[in-house]
Amino acid sequence: MAEYRGKDQDDIFDKLKEAVKDESIKRHKWNERAMDSLRVIQHNALEDRSITDKPQWDAAISFMEETLQSRLKDTESVISDMVGPDWKQRWLNWKNRTPDQHIRNETKNELERLLKLHDDHTAYLANDEVTTVRKNLEGRGVEVDPVLIKDTWHQLYRRHFLQNALSHCNLCKRGFYYYQRHFVDSELECNDVVLFWRIQRMLVITANTLRQQLTNTEVRRLEKNVKEVLDDFGEDQERKSQLITGRRVQLAEDLSKSLKHFTAAKLFLFMS
């Protein structure tokens, strides 16, 4: 929540606070022993390959599903930008495809036909497949560069892979019984769930360890850095004048000058 400021409030220390924060972060270095300890903890967490109960399995499934859906959404967005608005968007919003988007869309349609014929296609197109796609497009009056074909294929295959992974993830929701009893079922090969469980557990343990390290050591080291920075700034008059500014500072300086002039005038009158 943003801090409320009255209209007459003077932000006298804002620049100073920002400068101290930036300089303190710049000077701070994470304790090397703590980093080594964290690496060992992460390694040990990743080595644990056993899921002991159904809630852990469900948590791993949920994490995997959420991650895949996020990646799929990003990929769909990239493809949408590549091919431009569909017929509905063009009709309702009066939008048109650019010439490049038209070429991308024709290329996408051709590559989608290839994917439907070869659902288990590898991640990369062979050179003869690129040539076939290019010639098919040329037959429809679309000149296309092989690099564009490969670039479009990369996004389409990524979407295809993520969609299949999500479908498999849904199948594995009922796979804990098979996993627990070491049943072999090609349809329910759920090693990916175990991988996501290891990653999720590593992230949780890492977060807890970092929280403990911050509380136990790093906060004190940061406080020490802040004090040192403030001391250094306090000894630098030029920097102080740049950082501590505002209406109150200006009023104080004007008052100080006025007092000096007033004192000088009194002294002059007294001497005369």
For residue 86, how far is the Cα from the chain centroid? 29
Q: Domain tally for the chain?
A: 2
Percent over 70 (pLDDT), the chain: 79
- Enter the tokens of residue 39: 């690496």
What is the pLDDT at residue 258? 55
What is the pLDDT at residue 269? 47
pLDDT digits (tens, 9 = 90+) for 78-88: 999 998 877 77
Most confident of 10-19, 46-55, 112-121: 112-121
Q: Do 194 and 63 belong to one domain?
A: yes
Q: Do 76 and 102 belong to one domain?
A: yes
Q: Indicate whether 165 belongs to any domain.
A: yes
User: Which residues have CB under 8 Å from 31's CB, separation 6+?
Assistant: 213, 217, 218, 221
Q: Indicate whether 49 belongs to any domain.
A: yes
Q: Do 110 and 22 belong to one domain?
A: no
Q: Do 162 and 181 belong to one domain?
A: yes
Count of residues in the chain: 272
Q: How far apart are CA 263 and CA 270, in angstroms?
A: 10
Q: Do 127 and 10 belong to one domain?
A: no
Q: Indicate whether 224 belongs to any domain.
A: no
Residue 131, pLDDT above cutoff 90:
yes
Question: Between residues 261 and 175, which one has the greater pLDDT?
Answer: 175
Q: How far apart are CA 78 and CA 37, in angstroms?
A: 40
Q: How far is CA 252 from CA 56, 170, 209, 258, 261, in A?
A: 64, 70, 49, 10, 14
Q: Do 178 and 63 belong to one domain?
A: yes
Q: Do 168 and 98 belong to one domain?
A: yes
Q: Indicate whether 238 belongs to any domain.
A: no
Least Cα distance to 162 among 60, 80, 69, 59 occurs for: 69
Average pLDDT value for residue range 182-188: 64
Average pLDDT value for residue range 199-219: 89
What is the pLDDT at residue 177? 84
Q: Do 185 and 256 belong to one domain?
A: no
Average pLDDT value for residue range 247-268: 52
Q: Do 185 and 100 belong to one domain?
A: yes
Domain coverage including residue 152: 32-211
pLDDT digits (tens, 9 = 90+) for 28-78: 887 788 889 899 999 998 888 888 889 999 999 999 999 999 999 999 999
For residue 167, what pLDDT band results from cuts at 50, 70 and 90?
very high
What is the pLDDT at residue 220? 84
Residue 265, pLDDT above cutoff 50:
no
pTM across the whole model: 0.70
Q: Do 154 and 260 belong to one domain?
A: no
What is the pLDDT at residue 16? 76
Q: Indicate whether 223 belongs to any domain.
A: no
Q: Do 252 and 149 belong to one domain?
A: no
Q: Do 259 and 150 belong to one domain?
A: no
For residue 104, what pLDDT band results from cuts at 50, 70 and 90?
very high
Q: Indicate whether 220 belongs to any domain.
A: no
